[in-house]
Amino acid sequence: MKTENCITVGWIKKTVVAFAMLTFFSPFTKSQDVALKSNLLYDATTTLNLGLEIGLAPKWTLELPVNYNPWEFSKNRKLKHWAIQPEARYWFCQRFMGHFMGLHAHVAGYNVGGLKMFGLNEHRYEGYLYGAGISYGYQWILNKRWSIEATVGVGYAYLDHAKYPCEKCAEKIGDFTKNYFGPTKAGISLIYIIK
């Protein structure tokens, strides 16, 4: 299974779908119904990310974040991936302010290895994952246009990947699948309210 080329094609397809949805929903939005956001935790890992959140009802929003990391670091360390994690959110007071709960889905392609975390130092993994989870978060309003949000989530992911004995070369060890239960979302996001 080779994801190097699939990452680029997959990224383009998912981005087109996300912005098509924005175009569809835009005529139905009112004031403070659309926000752009960047997850600062992803920024810290050099992962390009952009989230779009659209107001659907007085206490409901739909978040559409996409992430992409094409970089390879020194000594062939890599955290290459693309990911999409749409989330329906219920706000306890009013949308874009205070506490919220969310239900998210996720799909991603990855090619990771050579990292001294999560057991990725000795092997490289290349494959896909998908799943779902729940989240809790809080958003602080800074002014009319800017906010900060913190969120955490837990859930399930099904991983399907090839495993290699080193981060760059060698024959594939085999194909593996894994059922994962645990953290599926974390974020500290800077938010700009468009309208």
pLDDT digits (tens, 9 = 90+) for 145-174: 999 999 999 999 999 999 988 756 678 889
Domain CATH code at residue 147: 2.40.160
Q: How many domains does the chain fold into?
A: 1
Least confident of 20-29, 38-47, 152-161, 165-174: 20-29
CA dihedral 60, 38, 129, 73 (to 10 degrees): 180
Q: Do residues 65 and 190 touch, judged by C-beta distance below 8 A?
A: no
DSSP string of 37-74, one letter each residue: EEEHHHHHTT-EEEEEEEEEETTEEEEEEEEEE--B-G
pLDDT confidence of residue 168: 60
What's the alpha-carbon Rg for the chain, to the nearest Å?
Answer: 18
Query: What confidence tens digit (pLDDT) does each residue in 73-123 have?
Result: 877 778 899 999 999 999 999 999 999 999 999 999 999 887 777 677 788
Run of H or E including 145: none
Domain enclosing residue 97, as ranges: 4-193
